Amino acid sequence: MKLAKSEQEGIPYRTLISSFLHKYLTDQLVEQKNILKSMQLLKYGSSQ
């Protein structure tokens, strides 16, 4: 069974919504792991 994002994060639902809203308003609505993955692809992809 898939857990809700708030359950995965271990925080109340309202806090999760506030976090998303803050990230959206500050242009930070991207997960860090996706940024790191993109950086690795750029780094190793350009050497091929």
**CA dist., res. 48 & res. 37, Å (int):** 17
**CA dist., res. 7 & res. 15, Å (int):** 11
At 46, phi and psi to the nearest 5? -75, -15
Per-residue pLDDT of the chain (48 residues), as tens digits, is 566 776 777 778 888 889 889 988 998 887 788 888 888 888 887 555
| pTM summary value | 0.46
